[in-house]
Chains A and B, each alone.
Chain A
């Protein structure tokens, strides 16, 4: 396994980066007082020091606590929306690709048209329409409503390539029913690819959530990464020279995205043997 990681550098880097995050969150949960992530807990605008290793923000939050409390929240949105998106997407993709014909055309057209519309904007409309502050989970569901579009498309094309392969024909001749073939033959062969799509979907969902939050449409109470950046923007932290305020969430978000990105690339390499570096 370790030797494979050395060959598949992307996968190694991805797992490494995400591993750092996980360790940070776990260790933090046990050592840091997360109540300090709420406003008015600590003196405001302190640069990093022994007491407050990541400094504090204008509303009196301890930024280390914010990171520890907020990172899981951001990831939570990503996972919920990402999983839902891929789950629905995979279902639709398999149905479309396997049954073909009118079913395929309808599903494909909806997905294609849906993808031309910039997702963030639709999310904005939905978020603005649902007055009142959103919870983290509500935001996740809103994002999930659009998250299935891309997975449907990509998984569908993968299934189509597989459908032509011999063993599907044989399975059909053997009398296996549609769902049996889908779950028994197609899914197992697509697992690496599905995994790659899943990670990409999670990444996209996190991006969407951060986007919504920076615009001020996120769960205002939650101390997660996107909201922190919103407050940074709101308080013009960069111009005011409070560099620690935006450095912390920036670094964490960058690690999240880089980690997920390399993980996707690594999984892609497993899924598509042609991409593998040949010995």
Chain B
């Protein structure tokens, strides 16, 4: 694979980061309001209690981003701060920094999303491939309509139903949170198990809905692939059924699926955010929800920026991995 390809892809990634930062800067200005002032006013209106330390924060903020400075100056300062990894303080939780709060929440989300995405992709793709294969067990056909229907609804709706069914009605699984209230996070098996129990419902909501979305296109791709000349020749070569299924059919059918993965990441994340909110799962989604409730503008900005960067990076990684799967790609202009 040529180095220029990687460089190009990385360039796209940097572009996305820059775009995210810029959007983050300019969009709020549209309303012409100052988030810090607004918050102060709000708190004053609520009865005079002003969060301790806000005064200092306002001073720091004015110094750096003061609205009296020309716009381009503010922008440059902003970009400068971001590249140093400074996403400002959380307005509602001063003196905690945005980066600090995000670093606590992010691992939970990455854990949940990473595992569920991989599981859904693997299960869905394999299921789709089997559905297309004449040698597969017949009862599998019955799986398709319910999975297909499930796929149409958003993750969190299924989450609501599952929560009611399994957590409320049958009390099988915990309703809320990432781990049982009152326990201290620790590196122990007990804690790990607790985390797992709490993760099952959110994970299920995502997996059950996503599987159909992977299975059906894979089935279509398999059918197309099975009609190709090289599969006919593979059969004429007297290859075993399993060899043809994996090496000749799946191996080729999975290529468009992987492209689909890169494109779907954004949607999966958006859906996962809502799932987290429903279950109170301590990830980015819940953090975002809190931030919106508290009008913590810097935190919102920080989260959106981080997520966009993370997704951009994931897409970059997938883009680089793809030519490894399809040897034809490096020879086309990327």
Contact = CB atoms under 8 A, between A and B. Distances in A.
A107 to B, nearest CB: 16
Given A246-B160, A258-B149, A125 B28 contact: yes
Contacts of A253: 153, 157
Contact of B307 (A118, A215, A229): A118
Interface string A234-259: 00001101010010001001100110
B300 interface: yes
A119 B297 contact: no
Nearest to B154: A207
Contacts of B267: 118
A214 B289 CA distance: 9
Interface string A115-131: 11111111011101111
A121 B266 CA distance: 9
Contacts of A243: 164
B311 A125 contact: no
B146 to A, nearest CB: 12
A113 B19 CA distance: 9
Given A118-B270, A131-B38, A124 B20 contact: no
Contacts of B221: none
Interface residues of A, number: 39
Nearest to A275: B220
A211 interface: yes
B7 interface: no
Contacts of B28: 125, 128-129
Most buried by B among A116, A119, A232, A261: A116
Nearest to B295: A128
Interface string B150-161: 011110110011
Interface string B266-284: 1101100110011000000
A274 to B, nearest CB: 9
A117 B20 contact: yes
B175 interface: yes
A216 interface: yes
B172 interface: no
Contacts of B311: 116-118
B27 A116 contact: no
A257 B150 CA distance: 10
A216 B50 CA distance: 24
B164 A238 contact: yes
Given A113-B12, A119-B266, A126 B27 contact: yes
A216 B273 CA distance: 13
B153 A120 contact: no
B103 to A, nearest CB: 18
Interface string B3-27: 0000000001001100110011001
Contact of B163 (A126, A216, A238): A238
Interface in B194-244: none
B304 interface: yes
A124 B266 contact: no
A233 interface: yes
Contacts of B273: 120-121, 211, 215
B92 to A, nearest CB: 13
B102 interface: no
Nearest to A153: B263
B208 to A, nearest CB: 14
A217 interface: yes
A239 B300 CA distance: 28
Contact of B263 (A115, A119, A215): A115
A260 B153 CA distance: 10
B46 interface: no
Contact of A113 (B16, B156, B293, B300): B16
B94 interface: no
Contacts of B168: 238-239, 241
A210 interface: yes
A211 B278 CA distance: 11
B312 interface: yes
A88 B251 CA distance: 38
Contact of A117 (B19, B157, B161, B289): B19
Contacts of B24: 125
A113 B311 CA distance: 11
Contacts of B307: 118, 121
A253 B207 CA distance: 20
Contact of B270 (A120, A254, A257, A258): A120
Interface in B14-49: 15-16, 19-20, 23-24, 27-31, 33, 38
A258 B157 CA distance: 12
Contact of B152 (A128, A130, A246, A258): A258
Complex A-B, nearest 6 residue pairs according to Cβ-Cβ distance, in ascending order? A261-B152, A120-B270, A118-B266, A129-B28, A121-B304, A257-B152
Given A118-B266, A215-B277, A243-B164, 7 more contacts: A113-B16, A116-B311, A117-B20, A120-B270, A121-B273, A124-B304, A253-B153
5 contacts: A113-B12, A117-B20, A121-B308, A238-B164, A250-B160
